[in-house]
Amino acid sequence: MKPAAFAYHAPRSVDEALATLAELGSDGKVLAGGQSLIPLLNMRLAAPAALVDIERLDTLDTIEVDDDEVRVGARVRHAALHRHAGAAAAVPLLRQALGWVAHPVIRNRGTSLGSIVHADPAAELPAVLALLDGRVEVASADGTRTVAAGELFLGPLEADVRTGELALAAVFPRPAPGTGSAFVELSRRHGDYALAGAAVTVTLDADRHVTAARAAFIGVSDTPAVVDLTAALRGQPGDGLDHAAARELADASYDPDDDIHATAAYRRHLAGVLLGRGLDAAAADAAQEEAT
Amino acid sequence: MTEDLHEITVTLNGASRTATAPARRLLSDFLRHDLRETGTHVGCEHGVCGCCTMLLDGEPVRSCLVFAVSVDGRTLTTVEGLAATDGTLHPVQQALQDNHGLQCGFCTPGFVMSACGFLADNPDPDDDEIRDGMAGNLCRCTGYTGILAAVKQAAGALRGSGTDPRSRYQPEPAAPAPEVGP
């Protein structure tokens, strides 16, 4: 339960970090909050030759909120984003989802962007980014590029952040006016990885009828399964949604596996039940949004 | 290959402490092996049990999921940093004793540190908030009822005294002895 030896690099600037990562090539691995990586190192499921620790890159510890989006730097801890009133007002789904991320003590150390690029299929924030059509900004010694959420998640624990690259920020667009959101999940014990869960948005018109609805599921597919449910729900009253057609539509978007925690059939059932709860909660949130 | 050693200095419970350790030294092991402070216990070593919780710059973290070299120069508080210098227990510690919040005591340092961080954040929690705040720590013998009651008692005591739950306890000075007449 002790990590294998590694060479340690603690750059003082982003440029220094990128130069170090370029030099290390495939030997280098970025260490951010470490709440997923260090368990893997302790159990020797991973043994990178070198770690590039971004602990001292304070310039990446920023949350910026503007009229269009919330930009979260690579050093921002879950707890800081969870507490941030401006981020919660602009993109309420962030606070709704972050309360489900592990335990408070883990959230004090783990970073939100780290969780996204770690790309665990049961993690909450990848689903939030995918549902909102967000993006991740990455940099290397050769320059920067932007990866849309739809292209970011390649497979379980695999994101499109390449050798020599450092993810700098995650960008979460504000939802359209009249949109409410919810995050729902079920785990065996509070704080465990979810058996299944969903991030949901519902948009209502002035008469409180549905004009758009989307969900992103976790725990039931290799990457967040995003499905547009508008066709199944359009025109329905927000306070009396018929979930059946939406559940059927969503059901075709994922293909869960059996494991020791739950059967595939149970996970599939659970995803449908959670979707119903999430839709009702998001519609109620949208109605409240309209009222204020 | 000989492993590179790093000189690491931390402020531990108010005192500057330095030791050299390889980069892979977990903060929990740095405390126990290098600084010889064994109040912090090590359970699962992958972030599940919460035994090794300590305060890093005032916030509770899992010390088995932090490398010591990452926190060179930072401030740590462990369970050794809470009781008053005369040995009077910190209100969280006293409340655990009063409410039968421990039996074997293995998990207790982690619970104490989590509770101190939690109560600094939320000085007047309701029962559900206490349950949520302490959910990341596991106890395998006493069970949680006494622990939750202890956190509730400690919250009241700390609010009453107005002290930061994360600082070393300073008991009220004893009342001066009555003046003896001539």
3 state SS of A242: coil
Residue in A52, A101, A103 to test binding to B, most B beta-carbons within 10 Å: A103
Inform me whether the C-beta atom of residue B36 falls under 8 Å from chain A C-beta atoms.
no
CA B24 to chain centre: 23
Residue reference for tokens 């329905």: A236
Distance CA B117, CA A154 (A): 38
Inter-CA distances, A79 with A140, B67, B86, B128, B165, Å = 28, 20, 35, 19, 19
Residue A92's φ and ψ, nearest 5 degrees, are -55, -25
pLDDT at A94: 98
Which of B3, B61, B132 has its CB closest to that of A109? B61
User: Which spans in chain A are helix H?
Assistant: 14-24, 37-42, 78-83, 85-90, 92-98, 104-107, 112-118, 124-131, 149-152, 230-233, 244-251, 264-291
Q: List chain A residues with CB under 8 Å of B62.
A: 35, 105-106, 109
Q: How close is the nearest chain B Cα to the Cα of A246, in Å?
A: 32
Residue reference for tokens 């979260």: A72
Query: B46 vs A43: CB contact, 8 Å cut-off?
Result: yes
pTM of the model: 0.95
Q: What single-letter amino acid sits at A176?
A: A
Which of A3, A43, A106 has its CB closest to that of B62? A106
Q: How close is the nearest chain B Cα to the Cα of A11, in Å?
A: 11
Whether A181 contacts A92, CB under 8 Å: yes
Q: Which residue in chain A has the smallest CA separation from B116?
A: A105
Query: B114 vs A105: CB contact, 8 Å cut-off?
Result: yes
- A to B CB pairs, distance under 8 Å: 93
Residue in B1, B3, B46 to test binding to A, most A beta-carbons within 10 Å: B46
Which of A6, A35, A53 has its CB closest to that of B24? A6
Residue in B2, B40, B55, B61 to test binding to A, most A beta-carbons within 10 Å: B61
Q: List chain A residues with CB under 8 Å of B70.
A: 10, 31, 34, 53, 55
pLDDT at A189: 82
Inform me whether the C-beta atom of residue B46 falls under 8 Å from chain A C-beta atoms.
yes
Which of A8, A102, A105 has its CB closest to that of B61? A105
User: Over the stretch B115-142, which tens digit does the pLDDT of each residue have?
Assistant: 999 999 999 999 999 999 999 999 999 9
Per-residue pLDDT of chain A (292 residues; tens, 9 = 90+): 799 999 999 999 999 999 999 999 999 999 999 999 999 999 999 999 999 999 999 999 999 999 999 999 999 999 999 999 999 999 999 999 999 999 999 999 999 999 999 999 999 999 999 999 999 999 999 999 999 999 999 999 999 999 999 999 999 999 999 999 999 999 988 788 899 999 999 999 999 999 999 999 999 999 999 999 999 999 999 999 999 999 999 999 999 999 999 999 999 999 999 999 999 999 999 999 877 6
Q: List chain B residues with CB under 8 Å of A191.
A: 135-136
Q: List chain A residues with CB under 8 Å of B114.
A: 105
Q: Which residue in chain A has the smallest CA separation from B43?
A: A1
Q: List chain A residues with CB under 8 Å of B53.
A: 105
User: Over the stretch A172-194, which tens digit does the pLDDT of each residue have?
Assistant: 999 999 999 999 999 988 788 89
Q: Which residue in chain A has the smallest CA separation from B29?
A: A2
Helix (H) or strand (E) holding B153: helix B145-161
Inter-CA distances, A129 with A74, A75, A187, A200, A251, Å = 14, 17, 21, 12, 21
User: What ipTM was predicted for this assembly?
Assistant: 0.94
